[in-house]
Structures are given as structure tokens and as C-alpha cells.
Amino acid sequence: MISVEGQNADGTTNRAASSARTFTHLDPQPGGTMALVTEVHESIVPITIGKGTANAVTIEVIGEAVLKAISTGDLATSKISYAPPGLIRVTQAGSPPQEFPFPQPGGQIPPIPIIIPPGALPHLLEITIGEGPRAPDQAVPGNSDRDPTAAAPNAPVPAIKTAANNQTVVWAGMDLLRVRLLVPAVNQNLLEARVGHMEAEAAVPTGGIECPTPPTPPTPPTPPLTLTVTADPFTGPPPTNPQNTTTTTNNNNNGSTTTTTTNNGGGNNTTTTKPAQVQAVTFSQTPTAEAQSQTPNFTG
């Protein structure tokens, strides 16, 4: 029995042989517009073909593949970007692993076919790695069925850029691996599988996406400044009262004098009243003045 199964790192079976994540975002352009970027990240867990048989083959893709469609609204700057995984490791039962680096974009063309076992016919397995992005079947019918190792005109049409309906459309599809399981006696296809299929598309209006900056709201007026002054409570020593106070009052009506003494320190107050006194001053002249006599002389 021949089976194709995914395998986790701990050896357990995982039917989901690959996983993919997609992202869509805007990318600022020099002219002030935005480009639309759609990207697919894909990784593949180890895949075993013919598990449990003497001819079992395990395929491991080491690393992550990233396919991006970038549409700026201008055919001259819109593009497809592809970053392949690091390498592929193929292990046949009873043989040591074989590692093959993925061809980098712009590098080796055509993709690398791996034949298991190597050498002359008959073959058990053919693996094609390093396929570049191509136009998907929706854009070019039957394009994905063409032999990726063939030369033009039989090779797949590359990823396309086109202007339609006032839009710039960028579209690409690809497969990380193409696996052909052969009938050893006649070298005919028993099974053909494509592993790690990826597609990315981006379409924006001609001229790009405009994202105008909203106007800056007016600055609200500054409220008037309010100054609040709070007096601290008095913390100094209390005022000192005089210890002794003496008050003298002359009562001119009855000629008496009243003296009041306040002793704040001792708490004793004394009031003394003296009787009225008559004081006289006698004037004298030496020598004694003599009386004068004079008759007035009136004329007129």
C-alpha cells in the first residue's frame, strides 16, 4: 500500500501536511500614495511517501516560503516578490539524508529535478523543487499543468501584471514541490502531487491608493489663569502683655488725683485716691516798687 502522510517532529502523523498564513497591508510610496501588499507565508511539515514500506521516502522542507503581490497602481513599479525556503532534505529508507538548497530567485533555471533512486531507469520518485511564481490558472487556463522544467514555449507563463477596469492587477501562483510517484516497471505516473501551493493577488486603482491626511483640529483656547492665595495660619509666639501698668487720672472738677496700678504678673490691682491740694506761687520784687502819680494832659 502506498500512502502520503504528514509527520510531526515527534513522529506522530499529521494529515495537514502544510500550513499557510496570509497578510494584507498598505505600504507607503515615494509619491505620497499607498501600495497594496498581499503576502502568503507557508511552511511544510515532513511528508512521508510510502510510509511503512521498504521504499518509504521522507521529504522535509527546511524554512518558510514567502510570496508577495505588490500593486502600486503603476505597472512599472508593481511586482511579485518571492523568498524561497532554505533547503529540502530527502531521506529514503535505508539511506542517509540528501540535502538540496532551494534555487534562489534569478538563480538556477530550470528548477531542480530529484530522482529517487538516482541513476538509470526505473525510478521510484521524481521531485521538482525551485519552481518560480507563475500566472495562476484563473489568469492563464492550464498554466499550472505545464512542465516547470520545460523550456519555452512549453514552460508556464510567469506571474502577470495587467491593467484592467482602471486597476493595476498583480497575480501569481506557485508550488513549492511537485512530486511524481512512478510505476517502476514502466516509469509511468502513479501519483502526482503538488505540495505547498501558494497564490497572491493585489489590485488597486491606477495611480495608487490615496490616503489624505485629515486636517489638524484647531487648538482650543487657553482658559484664563486663576491664582488662589491661601494664607498660612500665624505660628509665631503670642503677644506679650506688660507685667505692670500705672494709670494716673486728674479729676479737675474736684481737684482729686486717682492712680491705678495693674499688676498683670501678680494678679493684684491697687487703686489710690489722694485729696485735692491747692498750690500757690508768691512773686516778689527787689527793690520794692514805688507808687507813681501822673496827671493826664489832654489837648484837643
What's the grid cell of residue 29? 510610496
The percentage of the chain sitting over the pLDDT mark of 90, rounded to a whole number, equals 22
Of 151-165, 258-272, 285-299, which gets the smallest average pLDDT? 258-272
Residue 138 has pLDDT above 80, yes or no: yes
Pick from 112-116, 118-122, 142-146: least confident: 118-122
Averaged confidence pLDDT in the chain:
75
Rounded Cα gap, residues 292 and 110, in angstroms: 169
Structural domains of the chain, count: 1
Higher pLDDT: 18 or 49? It is 49
Task: Name the range with the highest mean pLDDT among 40-44, 189-193, 243-247.
Answer: 40-44
Q: What would you report as the CA-atom Rg of the chain, rounded to the nearest whole angstrom?
A: 58
Beta bridge partners of residue 79, listed in sequence order: 70
pTM score of the predicted model? 0.61
Pairing mode, strands 112-116 and 160-164: unpaired
Neighbours of 113 (CB within 10 A): 14
34: in domain? yes
Is residue 144 classed as helix, strand or coil in its secondary structure?
helix
What pLDDT does residue 145 have?
87
Is the residue at 33 inside a domain? yes
Q: Would you tell me how many other CB atoms lie within 10 Å of the CB of residue 153?
A: 7
> Could you identify the residue written with the cell 511503512?
52
- Which of 87-101, 143-157, 209-223 has the lowest average pLDDT? 209-223
The pLDDT-based confidence of 37 (bands split at 50, 70, 90) is very high
Cβ atoms of residues 48 and 57 within 8 Å:
yes
Domain-embedded: residue 81: yes
Q: Are 260 and 269 in contact, with CB atoms under 8 Å apart?
A: yes
Window from 121-130, 229-238, 258-267 with minimum mean pLDDT: 258-267
pLDDT for position 170 = 95
Q: What is the mean pLDDT of residues 148-162?
A: 86
C-alpha torsion 113→119→125→129, nearest 10? -10
- pLDDT of res. 57: 83
* pLDDT bracket for residue 27 (50, 70, 90): very high
Has residue 171 got a pLDDT over 90? yes
Residue 225 lies inside a defined structural domain of this protein: no
Q: Is residue 39 part of a domain?
A: yes
| Mean local confidence (pLDDT), 165-169 | 91
Q: Read off the pLDDT of each residue in 86-113 and give the average, rounded to a whole number.
A: 77
**Interatomic CA distance for residues 124 and 189, integer angstroms:** 10
* CA–CA distance, 106 with 298 (Å, rounded to integer): 159
98 vs 263 pLDDT, higher one:
98
Residue 283 placed within a domain = no
- Is residue 59 in a domain? yes
> Could you tell me which residue, 31 or 250, shows the higher pLDDT?
31
Shortest CA distance to 275 belongs to which of 257, 252, 248, 294? 257
List the grid coordinates of 109: 533555471
Instruction: Print the domain residue range for 91.
Output: 4-205
The pLDDT of residue 164 is above 70: yes
**Is residue 119 one of the residues assigned to a domain?**
yes
Higher-confidence position of 1 and 189: 189
With bands split at pLDDT 50, 70 and 90, how would you rate the model's confidence at 3?
very low
The Cα–Cα gap between 300 and 297 comes to: 10
Q: How far is Cα 65 from Cα 62, in angstroms, rounded to an integer?
A: 10
Q: What is the pLDDT averaged over residues 112-122?
A: 67
- CB atoms near residue 238 (< 10 Å): 6
Give the mean pLDDT of 221-243: 65
Name the residue with cell 489624505: 212
pLDDT digits (tens, 9 = 90+) for 179-228: 877 665 555 666 778 888 899 999 999 988 988 777 778 888 877 767 67
